[in-house]
Amino acid sequence: MLRDCVDLDALEQNAQRVMRPESWVFCDTGADDEITSRENITAWRKLKLRPRVLRDIVEIDTSVSLLGERVNTPIMVAPTGRHHLFHAEGERATARGAAAAGALYVMSTSGATLVEDVAKQRGAAPQWFQLYMQPDREATGALLDRCVKAGFKALVLTVDQPVPGWSPRAARTPVIPSPDVRSVNMIGQPIAKTAYDPDRKGLAMFPTNFADLEWLVKRCAMPVVVKGVLRGDDAKRCVGCGVKGIMVSNHGGRHLDTTVTTAEVISEVVEAVGTTAEVYVDGGIRRGTDIVKALALGARAVLLGRPPLWGLSVDGADGVRMVMDHMRDEMVRAMQLCGAANLAALTPDLVKA
């Protein structure tokens, strides 16, 4: 069991020991000089908390409504691909661990597990599906219908990777694709190459535009969330196309290096969107205090990318649950120390830049 933040740091080190070298590099690396992947973490830590005192914090409520679904925690498992690199059960174990923690899991298009198989691990926790939109709209529509039939509650369209980024570190320790491992939910079930595969360097893989987004919103029977937004004007335009949620994200610093951090722009996006859509944020969140800051700045929920993969690699579904439970425990303690008994009490005045 994780007892404190030091244990979470130790889990990261343990994950590096148990993963194959190429799996660890794929999990850990950022693009180019890896500036953004590091600054994502430090940006949250630079923000300061201004706690309230003498508040009743004996009972803490962390429940939240996410696109109409009530969940016990505002901490989601972010969409990350190729979980077979971290555990033999892949996305099935991740989904089961998230469900055990009562957390919403966002499944990635680039997983090597059928959406129907992941849906079987859901339990009482909702699941969303992340989409890299390919040009074949008929095939995309068929995948959307499968997700709806399997019980997924929302679609998350990633828009910040029209072309893959590049990681020198990953190029030195590459994941060698196997014909036996395929992205089974993508059109044609291609071999599960990573975005850093040399064959994909400079290739425009997912050049989605606003017209595509408008089509997707009309075609999809689920509410649509756009992931990868770092500007208020883009967020507002996405909402104008009919999306119900915005994920403030720079893809964990994995594609375009030296972008702004998500901590820097969450307030701008929240202000631009107002009450017309829900706003979520990921990128460098490692502590319960980070979560409290994000929620206080207007995010309805946060997403964790790499930490659940550390837990998955070390202890499968139980490891994912352990990470999610630990982060919620840290968040609850930070809420109590800030004088906030529920998420509504996390307001911008608690944070000072």
What amino acid positions are annotated as catalytic residues?
251
Give me the residue label for tokens 């923000």.
47
Gyration radius from the chain CA atoms: 19
| 196 within 8 A of 174, measured Cβ to Cβ | yes
**Token pair for residue 306?**
């790499």
Cα–Cα distance, 27 to 22 (Å, whole number): 9
Paired residues of 107 in beta bridges: 129
**Token pair for residue 169?**
């570190």
Instruction: Measure Cα distances from 117 to 26, 88, 211 in Å.
Output: 24, 14, 32
Output the CA torsion sign for 77, 81, 85, 91: positive
Helices 91-100 and 306-338 pack at an angle, to 10 degrees, of 20
**Token pair for residue 251?**
């893809």
Cα–Cα distance, 165 to 195 (Å, whole number): 7
DSSP SS3 for 188 = coil
